[in-house]
Amino acid sequence: MSSFAHLHLHTEYSLLDGLGRIDDYMAKARQHGMEHVAITDHGVMYGVLDWYKAARANDLHPLIGVEAYLTTGRMTDRDKRSSYHLLLLAESDQGYRNLLKLSSKASIEGFYYRPRIDLELLNELREGLICTSACLGGPVANNYLEENEAEGERLAGVLRDIFGPDRFYLEIQDHGMLEQQQVNRKLIELSRRTDIPLVASNDVHYVNREDAAIQDLLVCIQTGDGGDFRRRAGSA
């Protein structure tokens, strides 16, 4: 499995949405012969330094990122609670510095229920970053789910224009969820029509299969919802 790299992974620093501890992730990556593994916590970068140190200590290549909350309005506005998920990964030192700026501004200037960024700030700080369309909560997949394909494809075009043809990807996931399978068919077709490349990921929130029930409890506490985790994946 050394050629596979987790690009979408949440640690315990994704509060009430991530269960996996950093050292446990490193041990599991070593067990499976992986060489690269990313940290992409929700909206924050609190765990990045510990992740970097642990990865280096385990002879792994740390990938640094964040799953940001994107509002299509202005991040300073307080009239719209909902936001999309968007995965951002640093490909250079400049990209890492821009991730820090994005994360800080999201919490200080854009916070409204979530630490949010907007398209204007993303365009300003795009250098050195790779972007994917994220999970079912992302700007493309979410609009497909809501049967608003035109808006999803418009946002895909906006993000491709911001990052260029080589640094924006349509992200597909398959965790056995019917919604993902439906959306994936549309994402693959969109990729064929627009030449936006695809990337496959797992939306990792815990280390071992038997951790699923505890992860479900965490998300129930966060959302106040007694439903199952699979139904809520991508909504946090």
Q: How many CB atoms sit inside 10 A of residue 126's CB?
A: 20
Which tops the pLDDT comparison, 209 or 127? 127
The domain over range 22-232 is classified in CATH as 3.20.20.140:
yes
Helix-strand-coil percent breakdown of the chain, rounded to 5?
A: 40, 20, 40
Contact criterion met (CB below 8 Å) for 84 and 72:
yes
Nearest Cα neighbor of 180 from 225, 148, 138 is: 138
Q: Is 66 helix (H, G, I), strand (E, B) or coil?
A: strand
pLDDT higher than threshold 90 for residue 215: no
User: What is the pTM (predicted TM-score) of this model?
Assistant: 0.91
pLDDT of residue 43: 96
Reported as a single tens digit per residue, the pLDDT across 1-45 is 557 899 999 999 998 888 899 999 999 999 999 999 999 999 999
Q: Is 220 helix (H, G, I), strand (E, B) or coil?
A: helix
Q: Where are the domains of the chain?
A: 22-232
Reported as a single tens digit per residue, the pLDDT across 98-152 is 999 999 999 999 999 999 999 999 999 999 999 999 999 999 999 999 999 999 9
